[in-house]
Amino acid sequence: MCATCGCDTVTTKKASRQVVEVERDVLHENNLLAERNRGYFLAKDILAINLVSSPGSGKTTLLERTLTDMKGQCTFAVIEGDQQTTNDADRIHATGTKVTQINTGKGCHLDAHMIHHALEGMRPPGESILFIENVGNLVCPAMFDLGEKQRVVVMSVTEGDDKPLKYPDMFYSSTLCIINKTDLLPYVPFDIEKARSNVHKVKADLPIIELSCLSGEGLNVWYEWLLSK
């Protein structure tokens, strides 16, 4: 009762409440293993290159041509990532290159644990170049560090020239962009100037190499880039 006017009163005390947000990086374990892989590559002087792209950009054909043309100049090994089949690994094996296949099943990307397990089995030689051909996907692989030194994103002129704008994380996290299948430019509605501009809207200093595995145009620039790393 109120001492002043006699009316009933209700006093409400607000309990103080503190909200503590607990967050855990879901990629924490992957990143730890990626650093372990990176240390392995560094200790053995292995240049690890993560090749990423959407399906059908020509990653495997680029690898076949590279492994064939540069045979004797460098020692190579390849880890092939696909959801199913050993088709790409069989193509790489035909070049005489050491290769290991990883089938991810329903998974849409490779992760650091898969690479660590593959390395235990294949033991690539020191002072070599290890290509990791990731699953064809421009979304999930952008999130997963494999321990690579270089991430090379491949797009082709049979895709849209707006690809970098639609999948910016992949292009931003890469260290080189390859525009492949340039021999088809006369036959497809692909604006290569716009493609270059879109790449640099996402990452202004990302180098771009334009090439064709069929005609050989631009491959020497790619090979020089490899030898410089």
**Residue 12: which pLDDT band, with cuts at 50, 70 and 90?**
very low
For residues 145 and 174, is the Cβ–Cβ distance under 8 A?
no
Note the pTM of the prediction, 2 decimals.
Answer: 0.88
pLDDT (tens digit, 9 = 90+) per residue, 130-148?
A: 999 999 999 999 999 999 9
pLDDT at 9 over 50: no
pLDDT above 90: residue 15? no
* Domains of the chain with bracketed CATH: 28-228 (3.40.50.300)
Strand partners, 103: 82
Give the mean pLDDT of 186-210: 98
pLDDT at 10 > cutoff 80:
no
Sheet of 129-133: strand order equals 98-103, 76-82, 129-133, 47-53, 150-156, 176-180, 208-210
